[in-house]
């Protein structure tokens, strides 16, 4: 598979924490080998469960995370901590941290460095359009976490109508594509706003250099409150640009040749995330004190901040549809909304090319006890 099938790399929150292209990883020979369809004993997750009824032995696999090991992966930490991966038949599930210097999950999967990656439609769809044989098989976030954060003591933006005449701080890269799609979806001309290229630090917003900062609902508003500010949040998911995030992305060949493995993995993930959403405090402790210790670019995560982010994260994960259908599932309406949002951002793709939720359907049919009734956060219901 030539490099041209891989989209331009996304920066951290320029998209979903997926990073820039890493030197040497996307060498032509490695990609051609990964895309040739050949499998060997060294291929991650090459074992099969068979049909003898014996406990499955799937060996070792790697999961590419979309960012550093923080609260965003609490479910994976619980799945490791509580032995769900082991119970599912894996001798080891290696969690590969992402970051500003890493490649996208799509690139990692195609290269063969990981069997599964956490990503999002805005990153996976362009790869598929360019020919990469990838599919999304489930999603942790029912809502994407992107928002415009303004300040109560500045020029608060509470509604889409408030956008006109405002100056918006937007990070370079895919965030520019996302903000363009957000404006287009809401009938706002780019001439109605002023876009200022910025970084991820909220200091320019606090100092008044612009009126709103493109942010993550689960992160920057909490940082603003820590600065003594009252954030005003305009979420994209609830205002014209709904798409899912923290999706499980795999190669089409993996679905065809390692279906039992993927189903076992999804079961363990459901168990892990069931624990995580029920216990934000424990999630924060696992992230800050164990699995993500020192992960904040050499510094420790703050447990209190991680707990607040875990609570905010639940609003993106838990919905009435999740209670009805199970974690990671997507209704047809949500799928249709994603396809529409992608089109607004310039990516024309059909649902069958992007999603395959049949594995999840089988997992829940075979394990109906996995469905759990969660307490849904008020703003997420």
- Give, as one character, the DSSP assignment of residue 163: G
Same domain for 133 and 155, yes or no, is: no
Residue 123 sits in the same domain as residue 252: yes
Domain shared by 137 and 150, yes or no: no
Local mean pLDDT, 10-residue blocks, the chain (381 residues): 44 40 29 35 39 77 94 98 98 90 84 96 95 98 97 98 97 87 94 96 97 96 96 96 97 98 98 98 97 85 96 97 98 98 95 98 98 89 59
Q: End of a domain among 172, 206, 235?
A: 235
Range of the domain at 36: 3-143+243-380
pLDDT at position 102 is: 55
**What is the domain count for the chain?**
2
User: Residue 320 belongs to a domain with what CATH number?
Assistant: 3.40.190.10
Cα gap 202→206, rounded to integer Å = 6
pLDDT tens track for 318-371: 999 999 999 999 999 999 999 999 999 999 999 999 999 999 999 999 999 999
CA distance 246 to 248: 7
- The 3-state DSSP class for residue 74 equals helix
pLDDT at residue number 3: 43
pLDDT of residue 141: 98
Kindly give, in sequence order, each residue whose CB lies less than 8 Å from that of residue 337, ignoring residues fewer than 6 positions away: 242, 243
Whether residue 134 is found in the same domain as residue 155: no
Q: Say whether both 10 and 91 belong to one domain.
A: yes
Indicate the pairing of strand 167-171 with strand 212-216.
Answer: parallel
Helix (H, G, I), strand (E, B) or coil at 96: strand
Q: Both 135 and 37 in a single domain? A: yes
Percent of the chain with pLDDT over 90: 78
How many Å apart are CA 291 and CA 81, to the nearest integer?
Answer: 9
Residue 209 has a pLDDT of 98
Going by their DSSP bridges, the two strands 116-119 and 59-64 should be labelled as: parallel
> Bridge-partner residues for 118, per DSSP?
248
**Angle 74-81/259-278 helices, nearest 10 degrees?**
100
Quote the pLDDT of residue 381: 59
| Average pLDDT over the chain, rounded to an integer | 87
Tens digits of residue pLDDT in 228-251? 999 999 999 999 999 999 999 999
Backbone angles phi, psi at 338, to 5 degrees: -65, -45
**Other C-beta atoms within 10 Å of 210: how many?**
20
Q: What angle do CA 27, 28, 33 make, to 5 degrees?
A: 105
| Residue where a domain stops, chosen among 169, 202, 235 | 235
Tell me 299's DSSP state: B
Residues 231 and 248 in one domain: no
Euclidean distance between CA atoms 367 and 328, whole angstroms: 14
């Amino acid at each position: 598979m030539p490099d041209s099938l891989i989209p331009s790399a996304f920066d951290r929150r320029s998209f979903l924490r997926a990073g820039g292209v890493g030197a040497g990883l996307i060498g032509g020979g490695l990609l051609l080998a990964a895309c040739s369809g050949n499998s060997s004993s060294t291929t991650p997750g090459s074992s099969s469960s068979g049909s003898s009824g014996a406990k499955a032995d799937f060996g070792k696999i790697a999961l590419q995370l979309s960012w550093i090991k923080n609260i965003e992966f609490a479910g994976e930490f619980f799945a490791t901590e509580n032995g769900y991966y082991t119970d599912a038949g894996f001798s080891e599930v290696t969690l590969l941290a992402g970051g500003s210097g890493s490649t996208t999950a799509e690139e990692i999967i195609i290269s063969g460095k990981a069997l599964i990656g956490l990503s999002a439609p805005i990153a996976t769809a362009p790869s598929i359009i360019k020919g990469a044989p990838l599919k999304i098989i489930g999603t942790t976030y029912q809502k994407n976490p992107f928002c415009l954060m303004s300040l109560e003591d500045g020029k608060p933006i509470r509604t889409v109508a408030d956008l006109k005449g405002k100056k918006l701080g937007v990070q370079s890269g895919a965030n520019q594509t996302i903000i363009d799609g957000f404006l287009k979806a809401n009938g706002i001309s780019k001439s109605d706003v002023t876009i200022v290229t910025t970084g991820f630090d909220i200091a320019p917003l606090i100092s008044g250099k612009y009126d709103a900062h493109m942010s993550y609902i689960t992160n920057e508003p909490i940082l603003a409150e820590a600065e003594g500010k009252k954030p005003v949040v305009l979420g994209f998911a609830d205002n014209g640009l709904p798409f899912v995030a923290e999706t499980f992305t795999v190669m089409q060949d993996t679905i065809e040749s390692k279906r039992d493995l993927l189903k076992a993995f999804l079961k363990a993930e459901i168990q892990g995330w069931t624990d995580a959403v029920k216990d934000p405090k424990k999630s924060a402790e696992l992230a800050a004190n164990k699995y993500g210790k020192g992960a904040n670019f050499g510094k420790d995560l703050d447990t209190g901040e991680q707990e607040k982010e875990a609570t905010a994260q639940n609003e993106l994960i838990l919905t009435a549809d999740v209670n009805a259908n199970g974690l990671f599932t997507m209704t047809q309406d949500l799928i249709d909304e994603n396809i529409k949002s992608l089109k607004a951002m310039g990516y024309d793709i059909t649902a069958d090319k992007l999603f395959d939720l049949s594995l999840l359907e089988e997992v829940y049919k075979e394990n109906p006890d996995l469905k759990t009734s969660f307490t849904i956060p008020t703003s997420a219901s």
